[in-house]
Amino acid sequence: MPGPVEDAGQPTAERIFCLLRRGELTIEDTWHVAGMRGTGTKDVRADELFVPAHRTVSFKAFNSTSPPGAALHRAPLYRFARGPASLGGNILWPMLGAAEGALADYVAATRVRVGALFGDKPAEQSPVQLRLSESAAEIKAARLLLEAENRIVAGRIRDGSAFTDDENVELPRDRAFAAKLCVQAVERLVLQMGATTIYDPSPVRRHFRDLNAMATQIGVNWDLTMPPYARRALGLPVAAALGGH
């Protein structure tokens, strides 16, 4: 669990992670949400626990190139220089997969769908075909953006070099844009599907709710990730962004 540290009841600037045994905590089932229900992302409550120092680590040490674990593990993954460019990418792959899954489910469903009232076939209507194409192209663009980003991140991790200032604004921009592409691509499909799909087992709609839930993550927040890129491009100082920079 991450959190700020108080000293004698006064807040300090220090933030730490604590490692706790599940038995020490109370699980509170607050996870009644619009999407990503299966993750079971419930609250945990700690009631005045004493945590020994060896089960804590400061954010500063954790994010450095020599966190405590680097003494035990040789892999570069445990010592690379973190930065805005490296944060938040992990949620994009489930988002992309959900979008690709939604697209496949949509195609399968729409291929055989017959209009409930008039017996028409939506697949034969050009506006429906155009929706599918636009969403498919957006999801592909998102994939190419994430693959390009992954190559950069993997390279930095491998050789231990720091992310450049350009990468620290461009990669977050691309992630937010990829998230936006995924969400709008699936939304375009869902809006075409009609009332018969509003019942719970509809996989496309479940994917859409999952995407909306994942897109609320701060790492893909559009309004926060666009200005740092633009400010740097326009020669303005980049305000302290995410990830302690």
Partner 1 sequence: MVKKARPPGRRSPPTPEQLVGRARELAPVLRERAQATEALRRLPDETMRALYDAGFLRILQPKRYGGYGMGWGPNTRVARELAKVCPSTAWIIAVVGMHSTVVARLPKRCQDAVWGTSEDMLISTGSAQTTGTIRKTAEGYRVAGTWRFASGVDHAPWVMVAGRVETEDGSAHPNARVLFPKGEIEVVDTWYVEGMCGTGSKDINVPDVLVPEWRVENAMRNFGANPPGAAVNDDYLCQVPFQPYFSNALFSVIVGSAEGAYMDYLEITGVRKGAIFGNPIRELAHVQQRLAESSAEIKSAGLLYDWAVRLLHERGIARSGLSASDSVELARDRAFIAKLCVSAVTRLVRQMGAMGLGDDNPVQRHYRDQLVMASQIGANWDHHGTAFGRHAFGLAAVTPGGGVTAAAPAAKN
**Consecutive H or E run containing 112:** helix 92-112
**For residues 86 and 65, is the Cβ–Cβ distance under 8 A?**
no
**Minimum distance between the CB of residue 22 and partner 1, rounded to whole angstroms?**
41
Selected from 25, 51, 81, 107, the binder of partner 1 by CB under 8 A is 107
Nearer to partner 1, 16 or 89 (CB): 89
Of 120-139, binders to partner 1 (CB under 8 A) are: 123-124, 126, 128-134, 136-138
The reply to whether 230 sits near partner 1 by the rule CB under 8 A is yes
Burial class (CB in 10 A: 0-12, 13-18, 19+), 64: middle
Nearer to partner 1, 34 or 137 (CB): 137
For residue 133, give the 3-state DSSP assignment: helix
Nearer to partner 1, 232 or 245 (CB): 232
**Minimum distance between the CB of residue 148 and partner 1, rounded to whole angstroms?**
6
Q: x/- binding map, residues 137-166, to partner 1, per CB under 8 A?
A: xx-xx--xx--x------------------
- b/e burial code for range 143-171 (CB count within 10 A of at least 16 → b): bebbeebeebbeebbeeeeebeeebbbbb
- The candidate with the shortest Cα–Cα distance to 116, out of 195, 188, 190, 191, is 195
For residue 190, give the 3-state DSSP assignment: helix
Selected from 103, 171, 186, 215, the binder of partner 1 by CB under 8 A is 103
The reply to whether 15 sits near partner 1 by the rule CB under 8 A is no
**For residues 204 and 105, is the Cβ–Cβ distance under 8 A?**
yes
Residues lying near partner 1 in the complex (CB under 8 A) are found at 103-104, 107, 110-111, 123-124, 126, 128-134, 136-138, 140-141, 144-145, 148, 173-174, 177, 181, 223, 225-227, 229-231, 233-236
